[in-house]
Amino acid sequence: MTLRGLYAITDSQLLAGRFLSHVEAALEGGVCLLQYRDKSDDAARRLREGEALRKLCERYGTQLLINDDAELAARLGVGVHLGQTDGPLTPARALLGRQAIIGATCHASLALAQQAASEGASYVAFGRFFNSVTKPGAPAAGVDLLEQARAQVKLPIAVIGGITLDNAAPLVAHGADLLAVIHGLFGADSAQEVTRRARAFNALFAC
């Protein structure tokens, strides 16, 4: 499959009380990848929400990834996104199989991206590009990094960090394949607005 378009990432606090309705609204607007990101220790809830998201994603033909938890991903039969503190990708690839989508956080480092590619990543993620509510202390990345990565890393490139409809277009123009968005998508007042934003993010790739 082609990894290109909107990459929606859930936030349990932001989506409290409207979790599935807003996720479905995003899927309605078109989402290439959906990442379930939940930093809590509530394993039963994580499994329950993961199963609900998997069913939704199947209905909309969207690939589901789990943040930082290869074992939950294996249990659900979906992909995983691993941060730099989650260890090498190789064990996750062995656990999830050749077909699974596995993403890697590379911050603002081409070397980390090349390492991830050699370990079998499906895509590499750079960021933050703008001030981010989720990761305020992350090192900043710029569009020049995207151009270098495009030339040197033969994998789809995801960008993350404070991305909104107002600032995303230059990232796509400089080589981003996936716009990873949390607040810029789900920080909307209504499900209809989530759907509108999802369509607008995807439209940036059609230009």
The secondary structure of 160-192 as a DSSP string is ESS--TTTSHHHHHTT-SEEEESHHHH--SSHH
Specify the pLDDT at position 140: 83
Please tell me whether 39 is known to bind a ligand. Answer: yes
Please tell me whether 135 is known to bind a ligand. Answer: yes
29 pLDDT above the threshold of 90: yes
Please tell me whether 162 is known to bind a ligand. Answer: yes
For residue 94, what are its two tokens? 């062995």
Average pLDDT, the chain: 95
Please tell me whether 134 is known to bind a ligand. Answer: yes
Please tell me whether 105 is known to bind a ligand. Answer: yes
pLDDT tens for each residue of 57-96: 999 999 999 999 999 999 999 999 999 888 789 999 999 9
Please tell me whether 133 is known to bind a ligand. Answer: yes
Please tell me whether 36 is known to bind a ligand. Answer: yes
24 pLDDT above the threshold of 80: yes
Please tell me whether 5 is known to bind a ligand. Answer: no
Give backbone dihedrals phi and psi of 23, rounded to 5 degrees, phi first.
Answer: -65, -45
Q: Where are the alpha helices (DSSP H) in 77-142?
A: 90-96, 110-118
Instruction: Calculate mean pLDDT across residues 17-29.
Output: 98
Specify the pLDDT at position 85: 87
164 pLDDT above the threshold of 70: yes
Other beta carbons within 10 Å of 36: 26
pLDDT confidence tier of residue 138, bands split at 50, 70 and 90: low
Could you tell me if 201 and 188 are in contact, meaning their C-beta atoms sit under 8 angstroms apart?
no
Please tell me whether 164 is known to bind a ligand. Answer: no
